[in-house]
Amino acid sequence: MSAEATATPVTAARGGPPRGPLPRLLRERVFRRYWSAQTVSYFGDEISTLALPLLAVLVFQATPAEMGYLTAAALIPNLLFSLLAGAWVDRYPHKRRLMILTDLGRALLLTAVPVAYLLDVLTLAQLYVVAFTVGTLALIFEVARGPLFVSVVRRSDYVEANTLINGSRAMSLVAGPSIGGVLVQVLTAPIALVADALSYLVSAYFLVRIRPTEPAPARGGGLALGAGLGFIARTPMMRATVLGTTTINLFNFMFIALFVLYATQELGLTPGLLGAVLGAGAVGGLIGAALTGRLVRRFGIGPTLLAGFFLFPAPLVLIPLAGGPTPLVVGMLFAAEFLSAVGVMMLDITVGSVQTALTPETLLARITGARRTINYGVRPIGALLGGALGSALGVRPALWIATAGAVAGVLWVVFSPVRHLRELPEQAAG
């Protein structure tokens, strides 16, 4: 292991390859490997995000309610375990090791799906179990990622680092669904999951090759499970952003639970065409990631964040509006995905930077756990509501409710101190 691989955020800038066309942070070896691990994992995630529900629809002919159960199974660990995971991770000294182990565990679980399929023993119940377990490991990975982020990124670089990471996510949204759709069509949905398993192995490889100085573990008696929730409740900017994103997530996951079913059965799109539409539409994510830093410098981080809260959910109203000839339907879905992807990049980059800047290092994992309990905890609730409303009212009316509700999330930040921010806020008291 080279000396540069153990550099702190301050000294890492002196390492890495010679100056060139790469962004400054990507010339720092430690950050580049951290970013590479995130990037390859995002690509794999996009493949399985399409492959798992398509597997349920194409192999098991899943109903709207069963699609809701499958989506909820992957998300409910956030509601059940986030607080406990945050408290434990804050006191565990080796966050990077946890991330590596969760990568390896997810690779093993996803590999088991095509094996069971080839042996003709795969069931829908097994998919629920795999989704739940992978979701639990993903939770631990994400809770540990926050402390590792501040180990490899200087505070002054939070927006740039989040821009690069979310730019990778945008690129995965461009290519991932297209690759996933082609893999499902050519290899079948179960076999396509092998690509996601491989991505977790590559992510683990990059994480093995960095050794940053991690924040000291939190001290004190007990797990202090309420510390993160208490911080969110008494910090106005954190409270507004968490409640706003939670509202969007509740309704957006009502939407997500039904979207594949709606697109394939009611709009008649093939898996390959659906993947192409999602991938092409997500070019907006690349544009959003590229523009966000400039918008922050021009208008301030608060106004840019506020715009992201609106621009993410609002274009999705075009999807329940879609109808008519296939080219028109594809065009409307493309426009919705494109504009929404611009908005979600603006939102994720600015919210992530503001929340990280507000958070004391000794509380990072606990506050991440608390945020995920609230923000991600409503996702399975949204998925179940989406399945229930889709069964009771029909898929299209349920999508209308989901899109209208998500737009209302902006109201939490319109009347909060966040909208006045020009720069990153100071760290709040723990």
What distances in angstroms separate CA 96 from CA 103, 211, 213, 368, one per listed residue? 11, 8, 10, 16
Provide the residue-wise pLDDT of the chain in tens; the chain has 430 residues. 333 333 333 333 334 444 456 778 888 888 999 999 988 888 877 777 778 888 888 888 888 788 878 878 887 887 788 888 888 887 777 888 999 999 999 999 999 998 998 898 989 999 999 999 988 998 888 888 878 888 888 878 888 888 888 778 777 766 766 677 777 777 777 777 887 888 899 999 999 998 887 766 666 555 556 777 888 888 899 999 999 999 999 999 899 888 888 888 888 888 777 877 776 666 787 888 889 988 998 999 999 999 999 999 999 999 998 888 888 988 888 889 889 989 988 998 899 889 888 888 777 778 887 887 888 778 878 888 998 998 889 889 999 999 999 999 999 999 899 888 988 888 776 5
> What is each CA distance from 265 to 62, 123, 125, 269, 302, in whole angstroms?
12, 22, 23, 7, 41
Give the Cα separation of 147 and 149 in Å (integer): 5
Give dist(CA 329, CA 319) in Å, integer. 8
Alpha helices, DSSP H only, in 61-94?
A: 64-91
Q: Residue 56: what pLDDT?
A: 84
pLDDT at residue 173, as a whole number: 65
Are 355 and 371 a contacting pair, CB within 8 Å? yes
For 351, counting Cβ atoms within 10 Å of its Cβ (0-12 exposed, 13-18 middle, 19+ buried), the class is buried
Closest alpha carbon to 367 in 195, 199, 237: 237
Structure pTM?
A: 0.69
